[in-house]
Structure 1
Amino acid sequence: MAAPAEEEMKTAFESPNFVRRSERERVAPYHGELLAHARCYMALVGILLASSVPAPAAELDLSRENLPPRLQKVGGYAGSNVRGRPEPPLPFVAERAFPELEINRLITFKFEPGTGDLMYVDQPPKMKGTRLVRYRRGSNEPEALLEVDGVTTGIEFHPDHRENGYIYLGHSGPLSGDRADRKGTVTRYTMRDGKPIEPLVIIQWPSDGHNGLGLAFGSDGMFYVTTGDGTSDSDTDLTGQDLTKLLAKVLRLDVKSSDDGLAYSVPTNNPFVGQEGIRPETFAYGFRNPWRACWDHRLKRLWVGNNGQDRLEQAYLVERGANYGWSVYEGSRIFYANRELGPHPVSPPTVEHDHGESRSLTGGVVYTAEKLPSLKNAYIYGDNTTGKIWAVLHDGETVVWNREIADTQMRITDFAVDPDTGDLLVADYKTGSEGGLYRMVPNPDKGRTSDFPRRLSQTGLFRSVEKHDVAPELFPYKVNVPEWADGAQIARFLMLPANEAYLRFAPRRGWNLPDETVAIQTLSLNERRIETRLMVKQEGEWTAYSYEWNKEQSDAQLVSAKGKNLKIDGRNWRIPSRAECMICHSRAANFVLGLQSPQLNRTHDYGDGVQRNQLDVMNRLGFFMKQGTKKPSSTMSKTAETYDVLARITDASADLDKRARSYLHAACSHCHVPAGGGNAQMDLRYFIEPKKMGVFNETPNHGDLGFGADAKIIVPGHPEKSVMLNRCSRVGPGQMPPMGSQSPDPRSVGLLAQWILSLKEKSE
């Protein structure tokens, strides 16, 4: 019979408030652990120790004896079969060009005829405008030539540049002053002693949004200029089909002579010369934002890339006098059927891509060099958001072929061919060492076959797919602010590879994870599994894959790269395309959204009544172990409680401001962050000072959604006047987040409305 004191201790151990640490209770509490009781009874086999204060930081203890049973085997896993790619490798990959140059936010570039010097436009940090820069091959430093209070997006050299020194810049602005004064402008400079002097405005038009500003000289000697619709959303000024204005057009100008009061003359053979109510400069019309123009000397025609709005992106081999439909049409589909169409029939796009693979098309260049023979005479273009690159060959009558040639993670802004090397070069808008210039080179893996798993049961990630029982080495986790997926429940797991089962802890941003990592999500509705998504890192790059569960719930099949639309119990469900996944899982977010400390800093129920903080558990598992040290130590230097935590949006006891900021961080900041993909210049990370968020009483850059000229992103105290809340409340065009759900999240919408209303008191 046990002694009374021993019975007392047994009772204490069985209390629901006491967490047993091990069978013999010989180990110290791990770093940061809090226990409900503090008892020491020497009559037992060993010392019983608990603590009501955090244990001090110590060397990393990799002992697993006091971890929950579910975690005993968690760690590096060698059984994954998720390797390679399901499709044949694309023919080209990107390789760094001009590695000696660090270019921030590269917008456009050309090579100067005669000198071969690289001329480019960038946006250095803290510079509000842009600058023109020269780089001479072999020199030590680039030379800044010109700063513009605006955004310079186009460079073109006169065909006789070697003799006259003319260079043309297309720019929008000014950025300082009133937005109502902003214009699209083409200015000619004369290069003298390597410097641009004698600016002359060639043409100008009112524009604050889609500016176009693609520039190209044709083999006919004429100067072609693109203009956008001048707005930022839905052609609110109705310029797309308005032939009385210069907007939404390709213009054809003669800059060798000038008409009265102009710096150019109108070619007499322009298609609409002499027609009443039509600007004679017009060569073609009906463009939303014709981004990049390039002359095809073989076909003697102009190529133009065009940014669509809701669903489609286009490229056009422009026809003389053509109407391309905007904004009655968006590419090949009706957009606003009730708007008045111009007097000419609508011409279809030459090539068109839906938003499953392209979100912001960047027009390109005709490749005429010999270095890449498979691309000879093809028009090369890409996408600023998805990083994909395509080629299309046209014979003057029809498309011969159109194919994807590379899938990159670049924010593509321009293309050019290096006249010295024949390299096909691509501009990447990212900052620092990641941005700059890349060349396309043949893919060394082209032709290689892959046994990529076509069924979930082939991935090796599950002990039983039918029971949804993952391999015991995988780490289960939850996040503080989960994404809204139309009410679906989401189970999450992390698989680290056996050869590198650790990562570097970061207190705020997404973690850097090793190659062969797999992050897993299974989405279920009413206990029925719909899809399992995998984020896979290979050779430093992340790719997303989705598997659709069968009706029997016994396995799931790999979905094609284009994604899939489903009907589930009468509701729409979208399995995202791989490109759609990577729009949110962007480089600016470090690709992983939930795998960051503020999201994971929470307790998790590991079964058997055991709850632990996830960060502390990961630390105990050695996930944050420093490499190259003699003694085990951690890159997570403090206890979890000292790091930031995103507030759960349903936690009414948490501060309202913190809950709202946590939601915006989790749902929006992967795009709305410096160097992110969001068009609006906002910074929605939770730790940014409110005045630096760029949302309060700020004019939206991407349409007013019917709020009119006084539209603001957030009007403190007035949710009904705030464009942000409207976007988060809608489904379809203009919704935010732009994908991932078919219905608004009532919890987050209600939270944002309550938060915006509360801001009135703070602003008064």
Structure 2
Amino acid sequence: MTSSQTGADRRVSTIAMLGLWAASLAIPVRADDAGADAPSEEGRVPWTRSRVVGSPDPPPPFEVVRAFPNLRFEHPLLITRIPGGNRLVVGEQSGTMYSFVDEPDAVAELFIDLGREVRTIGLLDGAEGVEAVYGLAFHPDFERNRRCYICYTLRGSEPGQLNLEDGSRVSMFTVSNTDPPRVAPDSEEILLTFLQGGHNGGDLHFGPDGYLYISTGDAASPNPPDPLDTGQDVSDLLSSILRIDVDRKDPGRNYAIPPDNPFVGLDGARPEVWAYGLRNPWRMGFDRETGELFVGDVGWELWESIHRVEKGGNYGWSAMEGPQPIKSGQVGPTPIHPPLIELPHAIACSVTGGLVYRGSKFPELVGAYLFGDWETRRLWAARIEGDRVLEMPELSRPSIRFVAFAENADREVYFLDQEEGTVHTLARLDGPGRNADFPTSLSQTGLFASTADHQPAPGVVPFAINSPQWLDGATAEHWVAFPGRSSATLYANGKPVPGLVSWHNFRVHFPKDAVLLRTLSLNGRRMETQLLHYDGIDWRAYTFAWRDDQADADLVPAEGAEVEIPWAGPARVWQYQARGQCMSCHSNQSEYALAFLPEQLNRPGPDGRNQLVALTASGMLRRADDDDRPLPPFDDATAALERRLADPSDPSEPIAARARSYLHANCGHCHSDHGGGSVPLRLQANVPDDQLNAIGVSPTRGDFGLPGARIIAPGDPLASTLYFRMAKFGRDRMPHIGSEQPDEAGLELVARWIEELGEGAGRAEADRSGGSPGPLLTDSRSALHLARQLRRGTLDPSVRDALLAEAAALTAGPIRELFEGDLPFDGPRRRTLGSSPRPRAILALEGDANRGEQLFWSQEVQCGTCHRVGDRGTAIGPELSAIGSTRSRDELLESLLEPSRRIEPTFASYAVATVDGRLFTGLLVRRDEDAVVLRDAQNAEIVLDAGSVEELRPSLTSLMPDGQLAGLTAQEAADLIAYLESLR
């Protein structure tokens, strides 16, 4: 149910649900209501008809298997090979390291126990012992000089002590020439130290040039991001890849600086820095064939990254996290390189860098970069050409917690599993293929006894929730189904259970093949039924689109779909989300099951009993303590102790509780710690107001031109960017997935709550419904006020018509986006893309390259003013004569719709501020002691005296403006793409 449902709607729904609830849980209502399926001994009808098993997609081609059955380590972090033989070394987090022969029956033998044997920790005040070992590398001439290099961190003497000065260290040791080999503890020579913290990096590798490369993190915990502001700072050793010469010593150092390091001679820079802008680089490796250095960098809120690191490269942190800005005002001395690979948190949450496969066992993988993710347990093989990822298939089902990669003497790959402490390798998967019988229609799932009547099968239990999402006016019905008599377990404090999909403190743990489903209906017509399926390892999302005759629903392709529904309004389109989009909200950070959680279930069910009480009484929900010992079923007293969201539509509830519950359901799954939101905003209902990071806080992602803007301005909705985002259409609206229309009831509720937070200023705005002698849309604040009046229907018709005409004449931008969905699409005005284009709708059209060529050179698009094709155009931006041979249709469209998402370093623009307050932006043509020369978007040279330049820094935005296609129709955009695709 949505907050916009009437009381009569809710009564009808309750009456209908009562029979379903009773049939599924065997709750007696009347004797003649009993179903044909007999209840189990627990008083519950089992679900026996499930066909939601496996996946409709083919399985990955490989599986990850144990390589050494006899070996198991305690929280291992690193694995590498000893040169000149067939021994490998595994290092445990505690500092104990073992070597073993590369044979299936291998036995581990002690290599060194850093925690017990290394005595130099006493040289550092405040250190208590070894905290962790991160890196091990052997000298290129190891067989002669027996030198190895270890990076480890020290533990502070104070409990919880973080950021121990000089607590991370890289030391040289010697290794005995014995069988088995041993490290001589008293041979330690400390090379360099740096700040120890939450993100330490610490990986070590010798490059093909013979120099030692060292990764370092930002020495901080996740929140707030980069509190030391070190990511873009090359004056320290943090957030970097360092490069040193261990065969020479400079005065005062136990190593030397290679003379060609990029920042040698730069005032204030540490000369050891080879590249920078990394958050928590977790594992790096050189391709032994090409010498290229690949690094996996663990992300913050939204993106995981793989970088191909080059001399002097700036990889963005903390100005950027992948494509999204974080601290955009702080940029280092070189342009930001976009990641080679960006992984959204829907599929990866803690990336582990790997290696380029050069073995012989799997010829189809040769040259592919193998890497994994610790959190989601996935393994990929990326094939790269230049700066383009040609393909990146998953190699195996989610399996182990990839913490490190290594190769043996034959160049075959090994993976280290931190959780189980085991070493694994690849094997071809000889098991069954995809589930060819996976349901392609809803009637085949076994979830409904009568699909056309929307009657669930026995054992499929309906449930209601406290705070529904806004679904553009659609209503929702919810069910849960567990196979047979299986049950979900609700843990008292969410203690992790070994072997389950995630280490997060999930409160509810689901049985294998559990299904959660939701049907969305609009204007009384069923539009889609959404399924979440837990296959025992991972959650997967599927959507079934209802047919026009409402008799059944069909499985939507993985990439999603959209359909026009003119009966719901002019130009109304219904979008079926891609499976990956579903999982961006139903993520491991949000506990996957957004609706089937205590705070949503803790309410009366159709029979009047609390749902938590009914579900535990029936056996569908089991309670347990942190040690997995059973707890008694819920009763009213214990259920009252669980969290509960308020019903936003219930006027008897306090405004604050209703508004916070509304934001929790619509926004809190992303705007939480590590939830994927791009700002440190926390909108869960249980977070106190003063910890939301929103009330009275200035926005960091744009203020929409609101004077005195705050994310939430106490007392003033019209100065609150959160409220503005809820009121607008298009990109960056809130919520941004699953909704495209502002929610009037939700806006009213949030406005009242914001007013309660202070002296209300928003409603004091003058009512301009009686007419206006001049322009209506003069600024963002008044535009927001008028947009709200327009949506409430309180404007005089003449003012309404003038307002829409004025809005339609605006260029793309925040003010227009307040009215975009209300602008008419019929009449003389074309249906253009506007500020919220649909990429899939464009790509679904067949373009005409001839028409696209005319558009490319037209004054309307003006691509030729910055780009050259053959001997035509101007080469400010990239040469496009052969762009169709290097970029796919998807990539071409992305570059047009989001030009700042990926900027080639050669064409990175620079922002210049002069001492007299002038600002300039353009490509950097020349910079020397006399002048700074830029070339702007009009191809004009800007020459500035070097002495007048106060600041010169790379810009985070492209010279190509956003909204370049806003005035085109979808067909015209498809034509333009067809032309670019033809350039080969």
Task: Give the 3 Å change call, closer, same or farther, for CA 504–581 of structure 1 in structure 2.
Answer: closer
Query: Retained in 2: the 8 A contact 1:183–1:207?
Result: yes
Q: How many angstroms apart in 1 are the aligned matches of 2:699 and 2:198?
A: 16
What is the letter of the counterpart of residue 501 of structure 1?
A: R
Query: Retained in 1: the 8 A contact 2:351–2:373?
Result: yes
**Residue in 2 that maps onto 1:32:** none
Q: How many angstroms apart in 2 are the aligned matches of 1:371 and 1:446?
A: 22
Give the gaps of 5 or more residues in structure 2: 1-24, 38-43, 101-105, 117-127, 176-181, 495-506, 623-628, 701-711, 715-719, 759-984
**Which segment drifts farther, 147-156 or 89-98?**
147-156
**Residue in 2 that maps onto 1:224:** 213
Tell me if 1:408 matches 2:398: yes
Give the 3-state SS of the residue equivalent to 1:404 in structure 2. Answer: coil
Query: Retained in 1: the 8 A contact 2:294–2:308?
Result: yes
Give the C-alpha shift of residue 408 in structure 1.
Answer: 0.9
Give the C-alpha shift of residue 274 in structure 1.
Answer: 4.0
Query: Retained in 2: the 8 A contact 1:454–1:558?
Result: yes
Query: Retained in 2: the 8 A contact 1:378–1:392?
Result: yes
**Residue in 1 that maps onto 2:867:** none
Tell me if 1:282 matches 2:273: yes
**Residue in 1 that maps onto 2:294:** 303
Task: Give the 3 Å change call, closer, same or farther, for CA 593–452 of structure 1 in structure 2.
Answer: same
The aligned runs of 1:204-223 (5 Å cut-off) are 204-206=193-195, 208=197, 210-223=199-212
**Residue in 2 that maps onto 1:134:** 98
TM-score, normalization by structure 2: 0.53
**Which segment drifts farther, 141-150 or 528-537?**
141-150
Give the C-alpha shift of residue 405 in structure 1.
Answer: 1.8
What is the letter of the counterpart of residue 94 of structure 1?
A: V
Task: Give the 3 Å change call, closer, same or farther, for CA 530–207 of structure 1 in structure 2.
Answer: farther
Tell me if 1:203 matches 2:199: no
Tell me if 1:462 matches 2:448: yes
**Residue in 2 that maps onto 1:353:** 343
Give the C-alpha shift of residue 242 in structure 1.
Answer: 3.9
What is the letter of the counterpart of residue 138 of structure 2?
A: H
Give the C-alpha shift of residue 293 in structure 1.
Answer: 1.0
Give the 3-state SS of the residue equivalent to 1:374 in structure 2. Answer: helix
Task: Give the 3 Å change call, closer, same or farther, for CA 354–542 of structure 1 in structure 2.
Answer: closer
Give the 3-state SS of the residue equivalent to 2:364 in structure 1. Answer: helix
Q: How many angstroms apart in 2 are the aligned matches of 1:229 and 1:266?
A: 22
Deviations 1:415-459 (A, max 9, x none): 23456994531434x5xx6x7554443233475462433443443
Q: How many angstroms apart in 2 are the aligned matches of 1:109 and 1:341?
A: 35
Q: How many angstroms apart in 1 are the aligned matches of 2:621 and 2:299?
A: 44
**Residue in 2 that maps onto 1:519:** 516
Query: Retained in 2: the 8 A contact 1:154–1:214?
Result: yes
Q: How many angstroms apart in 2 are the aligned matches of 1:133 and 1:644?
A: 49
Query: Retained in 2: the 8 A contact 1:184–1:211?
Result: no
Q: 2:171 aligns with which of 179, 184, 188?
A: 188
The aligned runs of 1:625-704 (5 Å cut-off) are 638=633, 640-641=635-636, 643-645=638-640, 646-650=642-646
Query: Retained in 2: the 8 A contact 1:361–1:384?
Result: yes
Tell me if 1:166 matches 2:159: no
Q: How many angstroms apart in 2 are the aligned matches of 1:512 and 1:685?
A: 21
Deviations 1:636-688 (A, max 9, x none): 865644654524332899999999999999999999999999999xxx999xx
Q: 1:291 aligns with which of 261, 282, 292?
A: 282
What is the letter of the counterpart of residue 158 of structure 1?
A: F
The aligned runs of 1:9-28 (5 Å cut-off) are none
Q: Name the % identity.
A: 30
Deviations 1:208-242 (A, max 9, x none): 56543332111222111223455655556654444
**Which segment drifts farther, 252-261 or 648-657?**
648-657
Task: Give the 3 Å change call, closer, same or farther, for CA 272–436 of structure 1 in structure 2.
Answer: same
Give the 3-state SS of the residue equivalent to 2:115 in structure 1. Answer: strand
Give the 3-state SS of the residue equivalent to 2:248 in structure 1. Answer: coil
**Residue in 2 that maps onto 1:44:** none
Tell me if 1:120 matches 2:100: no
Q: How many angstroms apart in 1 are the aligned matches of 2:676 and 2:399?
A: 12
Give the 3-state SS of the residue equivalent to 2:605 in structure 1. Answer: strand
Give the C-alpha shift of residue 309 in structure 1.
Answer: 4.7
What is the letter of the counterpart of residue 645 of structure 2?
A: I
Give the C-alpha shift of residue 479 in structure 1.
Answer: 4.8
Task: Give the 3 Å change call, closer, same or farther, for CA 131–311 of structure 1 in structure 2.
Answer: same
What is the letter of the counterpart of residue 290 of structure 1?
A: P
Query: Retained in 2: the 8 A contact 1:649–1:748?
Result: no
Question: Per chain length, whose mean CA-contact separation is higher, i.e. which structure has more relative contact order (CA < 8 Å, sep 6+)?
Answer: 1
Give the C-alpha shift of residue 727 in structure 1.
Answer: 13
Q: How many angstroms apart in 2 are the aligned matches of 1:705 and 1:144?
A: 50
RMSD across aligned positions (CA): 5.9
What is the letter of the counterpart of residue 532 of structure 2?
A: M
**Residue in 2 that maps onto 1:544:** 541
The aligned runs of 1:1-12 (5 Å cut-off) are none
Task: Give the 3 Å change call, closer, same or farther, for CA 166–522 of structure 1 in structure 2.
Answer: same
Query: Retained in 1: the 8 A contact 2:242–2:274?
Result: yes
Tell me if 1:87 matches 2:45: no
Query: Retained in 1: the 8 A contact 2:613–2:639?
Result: no
Tell me if 1:476 matches 2:462: yes
Query: Retained in 2: the 8 A contact 1:382–1:388?
Result: yes
Q: How many angstroms apart in 2 are the aligned matches of 1:585 and 1:270?
A: 42
**Residue in 2 that maps onto 1:51:** none
Q: How many angstroms apart in 1 are the aligned matches of 2:309 and 2:603?
A: 56
Give the C-alpha shift of residue 246 in structure 1.
Answer: 3.3
Larger relative helix fraction: 2
**Residue in 2 that maps onto 1:52:** none
What is the letter of the counterpart of residue 121 of structure 1?
A: E
Give the 3-state SS of the residue equivalent to 1:581 in structure 2. Answer: helix
Task: Give the 3 Å change call, closer, same or farther, for CA 491–144 of structure 1 in structure 2.
Answer: farther
Give the C-alpha shift of residue 301 in structure 1.
Answer: 2.1
Q: How many angstroms apart in 1 are the aligned matches of 2:70 and 2:211?
A: 37
Query: Retained in 2: the 8 A contact 1:109–1:121?
Result: no
**Which segment drifts farther, 541-550 or 576-585?**
576-585
Deviations 1:399-418 (A, max 9, x none): 56533223416554332345
Tell me if 1:155 matches 2:151: no
Give the C-alpha shift of residue 296 in structure 1.
Answer: 1.2
TM-score, normalization by structure 1: 0.65
Query: Retained in 2: the 8 A contact 1:576–1:740?
Result: no
Q: How many angstroms apart in 1 are the aligned matches of 2:667 and 2:74?
A: 23
Give the C-alpha shift of residue 318 in structure 1.
Answer: 2.3
Give the C-alpha shift of residue 277 in structure 1.
Answer: 5.5
Q: How many angstroms apart in 1 are the aligned matches of 2:350 and 2:423?
A: 19
Q: How many angstroms apart in 1 are the aligned matches of 2:721 and 2:155?
A: 27
Give the C-alpha shift of residue 325 in structure 1.
Answer: 4.5
Give the 3-state SS of the residue equivalent to 1:544 in structure 2. Answer: strand
**Residue in 1 that maps onto 2:369:** 379
Give the C-alpha shift of residue 297 in structure 1.
Answer: 1.0
Query: Retained in 1: the 8 A contact 2:466–2:600?
Result: yes
Q: How many angstroms apart in 1 are the aligned matches of 2:388 and 2:79?
A: 30
Task: Give the 3 Å change call, closer, same or farther, for CA 526–255 of structure 1 in structure 2.
Answer: farther
Give the C-alpha shift of residue 266 in structure 1.
Answer: 0.8
**Residue in 2 that maps onto 1:320:** 311
Give the gaps of 5 or more residues in structure 1: 1-60, 123-129, 626-633, 708-718, 758-764
Give the C-alpha shift of residue 143 in structure 1.
Answer: 8.8
**Residue in 2 that maps onto 1:604:** 605
Q: How many angstroms apart in 2 are the aligned matches of 1:243 and 1:516?
A: 51
Q: How many angstroms apart in 2 are the aligned matches of 1:190 and 1:158?
A: 10
Query: Retained in 1: the 8 A contact 2:544–2:555?
Result: yes
Give the 3-state SS of the residue equivalent to 2:583 in structure 1. Answer: helix
Query: Retained in 2: the 8 A contact 1:455–1:547?
Result: yes
**Residue in 2 that maps onto 1:265:** 256
Task: Give the 3 Å change call, closer, same or farther, for CA 520–101 of structure 1 in structure 2.
Answer: farther
